[in-house]
Amino acid sequence: MNITDLAGTVTLNNGVEMPYLGLGVYLTKDGEEVETAVLSALEAGYRHIDTASFYHNEAGVGNALAKSDVDRKDIFITTKVWNSDQGYEKTLKAFEVSLKKLQMDFLDLYLVHWPVKGKFTDTWRAFEKLYKEGLIRAIGVSNFHEVHLTELLKMAEVIPAVNQVEFHPYLVQQSLVDFCKSKGIQHEAWSPLMQGGVLDVMLLNEIGKKYGKSPVQVTLRWNLQRGTVTIPKSVHPERIRQNVDIFDFELSEEEMRAINALDRNQRVGPDPENFNF
């Protein structure tokens, strides 16, 4: 990944350019809160917004985009199909609903939100249909481990472009990262800030003091230097701006290794191999 500025991108396995830094809107309330967050992000220079049907704020994201002066073609929009909507026909219908809420005629990236056993391969067939019809620029998955990806790849005609998973200094999952890289699947982080937990990590604070940066900014820079697309969430315009003030410093190899070594295999979210929703 060539890290330049907030306009920087990674090239996915189908040639689509995806901004390597974006705004996540999980738990952001539909209506004014999510609209303000998205508009603040776009004003700050973000061009990547990540939502999901399960977040129940696609309509607010769509309203914000409609109000923005930024051209739709210059914004990368991701949403996800929820577990109860998986399966071939249900996925096709769910996609129509999401597209309508977002007020769009195409989607940049559509993800299978969780690997629902017995359904995600049929869901993927629907994804491939939508992709081949030109309604989605790239298709991918979320919360897929090697076992799920291996099963999917056995039947897939289109290799997933992205795998979005929980990723932060306490959950590196290096074997999964390496597996994705070997298959040409871009690694993307959700909960990169450990739900604010990075603020209490001594090492991140110490490194931050050296560069005049916060533990949050150090963590996000670490994400990018590892080649990981990342989507920090905030509803506060000032923090939204601060989160992307990470292009005027570079972590040393020693600092990168030290942060990598914080790994505890510790999750803040559900385990993809043991979930019941």
Active site residues: 55
φ and ψ at 110, to 5 degrees? -120, 130
> What backbone phi and psi angles, to 5 degrees, belong to 186?
-70, 130
- For residue 53, which of 89, 9, 90 has the smallest C-alpha distance? 90
User: How many CB atoms are closer than 10 A to CB 92?
Assistant: 17
C-alpha Rg value of the chain to the nearest Å: 18
Report how far apart, in Å, the C-alpha atoms of 217 and of each of 223, 225, 248, 263 are: 10, 12, 11, 18
CA angle, corner 145, sides to 251 and 272, nearest 5?
A: 105
Burial class (CB within 10 angstroms; exposed 0-12, middle 13-18, buried 19+) of 255 = buried
Would you say 20 and 10 are in contact if contact means Cβ atoms under 8 Å apart? yes
Sign of CA dihedral 69, 186, 53, 81: positive
